[in-house]
Amino acid sequence: MAQQAQTRQVDEAQRTPPARGLAQGWCALSLLHNRIESHIERALQAAHDLSVREFSVLDVLSKQHDGPGGHLRMHQVADAVVLSQSATTRLVTRLEDRGLLSRYLCPDDRRGIYTDVTPEGNALLAAARPTHGTALREALQEAAERAELAPLVRAVESLETAE
């Protein structure tokens, strides 16, 4: 019995990378994310007066449809753009004030509020998509030149071809 437990511990230790390696990997992933997001943020702000988060909300909401489950509630939008529900509500309010989104009551549940992208919001999103794509490619190219980020860039790029 003791031999089995010892063998199990050795097997587990061989499968589990050292915590230091995990921490370094996480730091590299965080660095890549921050570099990409900053690059895209600058490009979207300069060309369209739009933040990355605003772009993300418009993009998520533009994919809604009228079929069952086709409209997102605020907590679903918050999850999709990785913001708190209160931060998402404030962001949606700002976009609504700019005429890019509109809200209406859910026809099935009067407590629910849906948000739709307005024609102006769709036009801005369409104009911003190429900027977003170009900035993403530029940021990935720059990151690929750094040895610690190159494997992560290859992993991200492999996801594009997997679609």
Helix (H) or strand (E) holding 141: helix 119-144
pLDDT tens readout for residues 90-107: 999 999 999 999 998 877
Q: Are 28 and 58 in contact (CB under 8 A)?
A: no
Amino acid at position 111, single letter: R
C-alpha count within 13 angstroms, C-beta hemisphere, residue 28? 17
Report the distance separating Cα 150 and Cα 145, nearest Å. 7
Report the distance separating Cα 25 and Cα 148, nearest Å. 9
pLDDT (0 to 100) of residue 5: 56
Residues of the chain with pLDDT under 50: none
Token code pair at residue 142: 């720059």
pLDDT (0 to 100) of residue 15: 62
pLDDT (0 to 100) of residue 6: 56
pLDDT (0 to 100) of residue 66: 80
Token code pair at residue 137: 């490619």
162 phi/psi in degrees, rounded to 5: -75, -15
Q: Answer yes or no: pTM beyond 0.95.
A: no
